[in-house]
Amino acid sequence: MYQLIDGKTTSAKIKEEIAEEVKQLIEAGGKKPHLAAVLVGHDGASETYVASKERACKFVGFNSTLVRLEDTVSEEELLQRVNELNKNEDVDGIIVQLPLPSHINEQKIIEAILPQKDVDGFHPVNVGRMVIGLPAFVSATPAGIIELLKRYNIESSGKSCAVIGRSNIVGKPMSILLSQKADFGNATVTLCHSRTPDLKEITEKADIIVAALGKAEFLTGDMVKQGAVVIDVGITRVKSDKTKSGWKLLGDVKFDEVAPKCSYITPVPGGVGPMTIVSLLKNTLLASRKEIFQ
């Protein structure tokens, strides 16, 4: 019988822990950690993400600032606003909600954020530091997955691991973290992608599978060995006549087929998803303590 890796409960627990830490921080005379978010335009999904980040900040006792800009904002103006947040000593962490309008160079904006405040971990300095094994802000999803392994005490050392998908924000950092000389690292990782000719050959031997390619129900039962740990990063919204909303969320894993073969598996929703916001809060706390860059 498989065990469900419950990201919802785990993330709620971690939020309580962070709230407690913040309380102690303030009792000891420290200042409230402060996360600033920049939201350009009115994209529905972005509005939802930013709102839930604000709620989470409030819950754990962080200050949060939302800088709203119209989607007609110039790159220069946006850079200036980021720079103001860089200079604002009260602000510990800065996120610019992606995607940005097409007339703005996203990479340029990412690199404009001070690495010391880059709690999304997208700045090349943080990516590089993570790869080298230096303290770094690690991006939310990979950090959340490592945290789940920790909380469920799932050993990765000496295990074989297949990471499916080579995105900059999930697949690549995930493969690096899992293979690193560190607790909840030390796995032998194969990074699979669209040019992998026989994926099944790799996944069916893997002790741990991280599915992060963004194709609904891609990983099927026949691709997984008995006792595997399966981490599902995918979220695809599909129409459904069985839900009130008319929509349902699917992961990259065909859960009904795969789960019975697993030792541990994350559900969608309620698995990796809720952990991302917790990673962001943790990074903001680290930023406020100046623990990453010394």
Q: Assess whether 116 carries a catalytic annotation.
A: no
Q: Round to whole Å and give the CA distance between 208 and 69.
A: 42
Q: Assess whether 53 carries a catalytic annotation.
A: yes
Q: Which of 6, 92, 118, 120 is labelled catalytic? A: 120
**Of 145 and 250, which has the nearer Cβ to a copy of itself?**
145
Contact 218, 209 (CB under 8 A): no
Q: Least distance from C-beta 254 to a copy of itself, angstroms?
A: 22
- Asked if 154 interacts with a copy of itself (CB under 8 A), we say no
**Of 136 and 281, which has the nearer Cβ to a copy of itself?**
136
- Asked if 188 interacts with a copy of itself (CB under 8 A), we say yes
Which stretches of 189-291 are DSSP H helices?
199-203, 255-258, 273-288
**Of 90 and 183, which has the nearer Cβ to a copy of itself?**
183
Considering only 44, 76, 102, 195, the residue that binds a copy of itself (CB under 8 A) is 195
Longest dimension (CA), the chain: 58
Number of residues near a copy of itself (by CB under 8 A)? 34
Q: Which of 6, 92, 97, 172 is labelled catalytic? A: 97
Q: What is the dihedral of CA 104, 108, 109, 113, to 10 degrees?
A: -170
Burial 73-90 (b: 16+ CB within 10 A, else e): bebeebeebbeebbeeee
Contact 53, 278 (CB under 8 A): no
The residues, ordered by sequence, that sit 6+ positions from 77 with a Cβ below 8 Å of its Cβ are 69
Scan residues 79-98 and list those touching a copy of itself (CB under 8 A): none
Considering only 190, 203, 284, 288, the residue that binds a copy of itself (CB under 8 A) is 190
66-74, 182-190, 226-234, 240-248 -> range binding a copy of itself (CB under 8 A): 182-190
Considering only 86, 105, 196, 236, the residue that binds a copy of itself (CB under 8 A) is 196
Retrieve residue 208's tokens: 């741990």
Q: Which of 6, 53, 118, 282 is labelled catalytic? A: 53
Burial of 42 (0-12, 13-18, 19+ CB in 10 A): exposed
Contact flags string 97-136 toward a copy of itself, x per CB under 8 A: ----------x---------------xxxxxxx-xxxx--
Q: Assess whether 107 carries a catalytic annotation.
A: no
Q: Least distance from C-beta 77 to a copy of itself, angstroms?
A: 22
Nearest residue to 58 (alpha-carbon basis) of 32, 40, 88: 32
Which stretches of the chain are DSSP H helices?
7-27, 44-60, 75-87, 106-112, 124-132, 140-151, 171-179, 199-203, 255-258, 273-288
Residues in contact with a copy of itself by CB under 8 A are 107, 123-129, 131-134, 157-158, 166, 168, 172, 175-176, 179-181, 186-193, 195-197, 202
Question: Which residues carry out catalysis?
Answer: 53, 97, 120
